C-alpha cells in the first residue's frame, strides 16, 4: 500500500512529460521554422539573396526505398501570367559529394511548372529546391530524406 | 548506344501545357565507384539535356551524378502549332543522343 | 480394393512433396505488395518504369540478331513462353531457364557466339521475351525430366546456407511481412524478373537476385548459370504457380 502511494506522483510526472513531448513532436513546422541548410555552393549562388519559403513545393519521400533512385517532384504554383514566370529551378544536396544536383531552365511562359525526376542521395540529408522568377524573385523548399542501407547487402 | 523512351500526348491544345516524359538509358556513373579489382570507374554522367520545339530551345537541364541512373524527366511545355520536338543530350564521354517526336496541335 | 489402395498410396508417394506448399496458393503474394509506395509507383507506370528501356532494346535486338527470322513477331510467338520457364529441354537433357534457352538458340541454331550471362544483350532479350507474358500466370512443369532439378531446388531452398546458417524458407515462408532493418521481408517470389533493381541501377536476372540473397547470408555464391541456380529458379517458379508475371518489375 505504502509503495503504491509513493509511485503515483512519479508516474504522473512521467506521463505529463511524455504528453508534453508528444505535443511538441506533432506540432507542424511553420514557414518561420524552415531554414536553408548550410551548402557553400548554394550560398555562393544565392550571393546574399534570401528566398521566400512559399509557392514552390519539393516532394520527396521521408524515407527512401533506396538512395540510388529517390523519386522527386517539384511544383511551383501560379498564377503566373501576365506577370513574372519561372525561369529556372535549381536543386541542391546537403551531403552529396556534388552539391549542385541539377538546374532546370524554362524558356516558355508556362502556366504549369512541374519537374519530376529521380535523384541519388548519398545518405540521410536535406535537399533544397530554389525557383528563380523572371523578375529575380526566389522561392525555396527544403525536404529531409532518410536514406538507410539495404537489409541484406548485395554483392553481385 | 543511347536509348530513350519519350512520351507526349497524341494531341495537344494550342498554348495549353502538355506533359513531356523522358527516360534515357544511361548509367550516370558517379566516378566514386570502384570495380571488383579496386580500380576507380571514371565519372560519366549526362551533363546537358536540351528540348527544342521547331528548333527553339523550350527546356534544358544541367544534370549531375546527383540524378539517378537511367534518368527520368517529366516536365510541361506549350506549343502554338503542330511541329517537331527534338531532344538532345551529351555525356562526359562526349557521346551524344537524340530523339524526336511529332507534336500535333488539335 | 487392395489394388486401389496400393495405387492410391503410389500416387500419394509420387506427388507427396510436390503438394507440400508452405504458403498455400491462395496466399501467394508478389514482392510488389511488400514494396514501398515509390517502388510500386515506378513499376505500375510504363512512362516511368526504367525496365522498359531494356524491353525496348530487346525489341531492337529481336530484329537485328535474327530472332525474328525463325520466330516472326515476338508478340505472337513468345506469348506465354516465359510463364513456362524454367523448362526441361530434350536436346540438352537438362532444365534451362529463359536466358539459357536464348543462349542455346544463339549458339546451336544461329551458330553465333553466346551473349554471356547478365550481359546487356541477353538481359534485354530476356526482358523483351518475358514482357510478352506480362500478366500471365506462372505454369511450369516439374514432371518427367524436370523432376530431378525440382527436387534439388526444393532441397536447396530448405537447406541452411552461409555463415548466417539461414535457409530461404526461414525468411520467405516463415517470416515474410516482418522487417529486416528498414525492409519488409517478401515471400521471395520470382514474378518481377528480369527486374529493374534500384540497388543494381539496372535490370538483372532472377539468378542474380538469388546470388545476392546468398551473399546476404554470407554464403559462397555459385557462378551465374550454375545448375544449382537453375534448380532453385525452377522450384521458385513452381512455388509461384498462378502468380502473374510482372516483367519488367521494379524492386528496391
C67 annotated active-site: no
- Closest chain B residue to the Cα of A113, Cα to Cα: B76
Which residues of chain B are within 8 Å of residue C121 when distances are taken between CB atoms? none
Q: Where are the domains of chain B?
A: 3-103
Would you state the pLDDT for residue A28? Answer: 44
Which residues of chain B are within 8 Å of residue A113 when distances are taken between CB atoms? 76
Question: d(Cα A5, Cα A8) in Å, to the nearest integer?
Answer: 6
Contact partners for chain A, using 3 or more CB pairs closer than 8 A, are B, C
Mean of the per-residue pLDDT values of chain C: 93
Which residues of chain C are within 8 Å of residue B23 when distances are taken between CB atoms? 47-48, 50, 52-53
Would you call C50 and B27 a contact, using CB atoms and an 8 Å cutoff?
Answer: no
| Closest CA of chain C from B41, distance in Å | 15
Beta bridge partners, C204, equal: C195
Spatial contact of A96 and A128, defined as CB atoms under 8 Å apart: no
Q: Is B18 on the interface with A (CB under 8 A)?
A: no
Residue C70 half-sphere exposure, CB side, CA atoms within 13 Å?
A: 9
- Domains observed in chain C: 28-251 (1.10.760.10)
Q: Is C163 on the interface with A (CB under 8 A)?
A: no
Sheet holding C249-251, edge to edge: C202-204, C195-197, C249-251
Among chain A, residues having any CB pair with chain B shorter than 8 Å are: 68-70, 91, 93, 96-98, 100-108, 110-121
pLDDT band, residue C12 (cuts 50/70/90): very low
Whether the predicted pLDDT of B52 surpasses 90: yes
Which residues of chain A are within 8 Å of residue C198 when distances are taken between CB atoms? 65-66, 68-69
Domain B3-103 has what CATH class? mainly beta
Nearest to C127 by CA among C138, C116, C137, C118: C118
Pick the CATH number of A31-147 from 3.40.50.2300, 1.10.10.920, 2.40.30.20, 2.60.40.2470: 2.60.40.2470
- pLDDT, one tens digit per residue, over B1-38 is 458 999 999 999 999 999 999 999 999 999 988 888 88
**Which among A96, A104, A116 has CB closest to B66?**
A96
Q: Where are the domains of chain A?
A: 31-147
B99: left (phi over 0), alpha (psi -120 to 50) or beta: beta
Beta bridge partners, A1, equal: none
**Residue C223 DSSP class:** P
Give the pLDDT mean for C131-160.
97
**Which among B23, B68, B74 has CB closest to C53?**
B23
Q: Which three cell numbers stand for residue A25?
A: 513532436
Residue appearing with cell numbers 522527386: A72
Give the pLDDT mean for A35-51.
96
Question: d(Cα C246, Cα C135) in Å, to the nearest integer?
Answer: 6
Which residues of chain B are within 8 Å of residue A110 when distances are taken between CB atoms? 17, 76-78
Query: How much of chain B exceeds pLDDT 70, in percent?
Result: 98
Spatial contact of B41 and B75, defined as CB atoms under 8 Å apart: no
- Closest chain B residue to the Cα of C53, Cα to Cα: B25
Give the pLDDT mean for C59-63.
97
Would you call C252 and A66 a contact, using CB atoms and an 8 Å cutoff?
Answer: yes
Nearest to C56 by CA among C248, C249, C251: C248
Burial class (CB within 10 angstroms; exposed 0-12, middle 13-18, buried 19+) of A80: middle
* The one catalytic residue among C67, C168, C171, C213: C213
Contact partners for chain B, using 3 or more CB pairs closer than 8 A, are A, C
- Closest chain A residue to the Cα of C201, Cα to Cα: A68
Would you state the pLDDT for residue A27? Answer: 44
| Closest CA of chain C from A154, distance in Å | 5
End-to-end CA distance of chain A: 64
- pLDDT, one tens digit per residue, over A125-139 is 999 999 999 999 999
Burial class (CB within 10 angstroms; exposed 0-12, middle 13-18, buried 19+) of C105: middle
- pLDDT, one tens digit per residue, over B83-96 is 999 999 999 999 99
How far is C-alpha A30 from the chain's CA centre?
13
Amino acid at each position: 500500500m505504502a509503495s503504491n502511494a509513493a509511485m503515483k506522483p512519479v508516474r504522473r510526472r512521467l506521463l505529463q512529460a511524455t504528453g508534453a513531448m508528444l505535443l511538441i513532436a506533432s506540432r507542424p513546422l511553420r514557414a518561420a521554422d524552415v531554414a536553408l541548410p548550410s551548402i557553400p555552393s548554394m550560398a555562393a549562388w544565392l550571393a546574399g539573396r534570401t528566398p521566400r519559403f512559399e509557392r514552390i513545393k519539393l516532394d520527396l519521400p521521408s524515407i527512401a526505398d533506396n538512395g540510388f533512385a529517390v523519386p522527386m517532384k517539384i511544383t511551383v504554383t501560379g498564377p503566373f501570367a501576365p506577370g513574372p514566370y519561372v525561369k529556372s529551378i535549381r536543386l541542391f544536396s546537403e551531403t552529396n559529394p556534388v552539391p549542385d544536383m541539377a538546374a532546370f531552365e524554362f524558356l516558355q511562359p508556362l502556366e504549369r511548372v512541374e519537374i519530376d525526376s529521380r535523384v541519388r542521395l548519398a545518405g540521410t540529408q536535406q535537399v533544397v529546391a530554389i525557383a528563380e522568377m523572371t523578375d529575380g524573385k526566389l522561392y525555396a523548399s527544403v525536404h529531409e530524406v532518410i536514406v538507410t542501407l539495404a537489409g541484406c547487402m548485395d554483392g553481385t | 548506344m543511347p536509348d530513350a523512351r519519350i512520351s507526349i500526348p497524341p494531341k495537344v491544345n494550342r498554348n495549353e501545357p502538355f506533359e513531356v516524359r523522358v527516360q534515357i538509358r544511361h548509367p550516370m556513373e558517379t566516378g566514386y565507384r570502384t570495380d571488383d579489382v579496386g580500380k576507380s570507374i571514371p565519372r560519366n554522367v549526362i551533363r546537358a539535356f536540351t528540348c527544342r520545339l521547331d528548333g527553339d530551345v523550350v527546356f534544358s537541364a544541367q544534370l549531375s551524378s546527383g540524378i539517378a541512373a537511367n534518368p527520368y524527366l517529366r516536365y510541361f511545355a506549350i506549343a502554338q502549332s503542330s511541329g517537331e520536338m527534338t531532344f538532345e543530350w551529351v555525356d562526359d564521354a562526349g557521346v551524344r543522343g537524340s530523339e524526336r517526336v511529332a507534336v500535333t496541335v488539335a | 480394393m487392395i489394388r486401389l489402395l496400393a495405387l492410391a498410396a503410389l500416387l500419394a508417394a509420387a506427388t507427396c512433396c510436390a503438394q507440400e506448399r508452405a504458403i498455400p496458393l491462395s496466399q501467394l503474394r508478389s514482392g510488389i505488395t511488400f514494396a514501398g509506395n515509390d517502388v510500386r509507383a515506378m513499376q505500375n507506370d510504363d512512362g516511368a518504369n526504367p525496365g522498359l528501356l531494356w524491353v525496348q532494346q530487346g525489341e531492337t535486338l529481336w530484329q537485328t540478331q535474327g530472332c525474328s527470322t525463325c520466330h516472326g513477331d515476338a508478340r505472337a510467338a513468345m506469348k506465354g513462353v516465359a510463364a513456362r520457364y524454367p523448362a526441361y529441354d530434350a536436346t540438352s537433357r537438362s532444365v534451362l531457364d529463359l536466358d539459357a534457352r536464348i543462349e542455346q538458340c544463339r549458339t546451336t541454331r544461329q551458330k553465333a557466339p553466346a551473349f554471356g550471362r547478365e550481359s546487356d544483350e541477353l538481359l534485354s532479350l530476356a526482358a523483351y521475351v518475358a514482357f510478352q507474358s506480362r500478366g500471365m500466370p506462372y505454369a511450369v512443369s516439374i514432371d518427367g525430366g524436370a523432376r530431378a532439378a525440382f527436387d534439388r531446388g526444393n532441397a536447396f531452398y530448405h537447406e541452411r546456407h552461409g555463415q548466417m546458417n539461414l535457409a530461404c524458407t526461414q525468411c520467405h515462408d516463415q517470416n515474410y511481412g516482418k522487417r529486416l532493418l528498414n525492409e519488409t521481408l517478401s515471400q521471395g517470389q520470382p514474378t518481377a524478373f528480369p527486374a529493374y533493381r534500384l540497388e543494381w541501377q539496372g535490370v538483372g536476372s532472377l539468378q542474380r537476385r538469388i546470388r545476392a540473397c546468398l551473399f546476404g547470408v554470407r554464403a559462397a555464391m555459385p557462378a551465374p548459370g550454375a545448375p544449382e541456380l537453375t534448380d532453385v529458379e525452377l522450384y521458385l517458379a513452381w512455388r509461384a504457380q498462378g502468380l502473374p508475371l510482372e516483367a519488367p518489375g521494379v524492386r528496391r
